[in-house]
A and B are shown apart, each in its own frame.
Chain A
Amino acid sequence: MGEPTTGTIVVFSVLAAMVIGGGLGVVLLRNVFHALVAMVVCFLGVSGVYFSLQADFLAVMQVLIYIGAVAVVIAFAVMLTRRGKMSDSNRFVDNSVQLVLGTSVAGGLGVVLLGLICETTWQIADKLPATDLTRFLGEAMMTKLPIPFEIAAVLLLVALVGAVMIALEEVQKS
């Protein structure tokens, strides 16, 4: 792989700051809409990470699906369900036992995982990735994995029809 140059280190640091800062923003900002914007920043950072790993198709999909669809759907959910003051809408639970337990579970898992990552030696392959990525993925979907592809399509259809049916329940009753 070779030693990382200063440029790649700078780019990676900026992307990592976007990802972690966005994630922290989702959890720590008091206004739920600001948290949503922080989540979009985090998703953009993840997209950049995909670019730095030479996964260009996934990076574009990330922007399209997560920022274009998921973030917009969540924005609608916030607007449809919000009561009370916006400036204090993203609160932690009042139960301090739950706060302590949540913090210790997350922190403990983080320590264990980071320790394991530092311990393990990986067998890095020295090959270069396929250049024609989108074509490769499309061919793999259609030749090697047609069944999972169809199942994913049916799952999406069923989930979206189900979501509409759940949300429409009240209208059918009245």
Chain B
Amino acid sequence: MMDLSCYLGLSTLLFIVGLFGALTKRSAVVVLMCIELMLNAVNINLVAFSRFLDPGQLLGHLFVIFTIAVAAAEVAVGIALVIVLNRYRDTINLDDFTWLKG
């Protein structure tokens, strides 16, 4: 069995890779993919804490199930928005969406 710190370090690395991508990519679809990476990093954390700190209760697993459900809902709505934005503006470059700018 590996240490808890190994799992936490792995999920931290995945999280910062996802965060870096979400902050610096120009395509809305890729930003959604990076957000999925960050959610996965959080899920690894929850499962690792559940396994090492509280193995009898498994509350972390229940959290992960709800996170996965919310992530699936989020990706469905996000993709629908991207498709509609693409229809109106003919682009998915996030810098081109400036409707709210005065």
Contact A24 B17 (CB under 8 A): yes
* In the complex, A103 has a CB within 8 A of chain B: yes
Assembled-state Cα–Cα distance A110/B11 (Å): 10
Most buried by B among A9, A53, A94: A53
Residues of B within 8 A of A81 (CB): 29, 82-83, 86, 92
Interface of B is mostly: helix
Alpha-carbon distance A35/B44, docked complex (angstroms):
21
Residue B52, interface by CB 8 Å: yes
Interface residues of A, dominant DSSP: helix
User: 0/1 per residue, B26-44, Cβ < 8 Å to A?
Assistant: 1101101110110010011
CA gap between A138 and B16 in the complex, in Å: 33
Residue contact A156 to B47, C-beta cutoff 8 Å: no
The residue from B21, B61, B73, B95 contacting A55, defined by CB atoms under 8 A apart: B61
B residues in contact (CB < 8 Å) with A: 1-10, 12-21, 23-27, 29-30, 32-34, 36-37, 40, 43-44, 47-48, 50-56, 58, 61-62, 64-66, 68-77, 79-84, 86-87, 90-92, 95
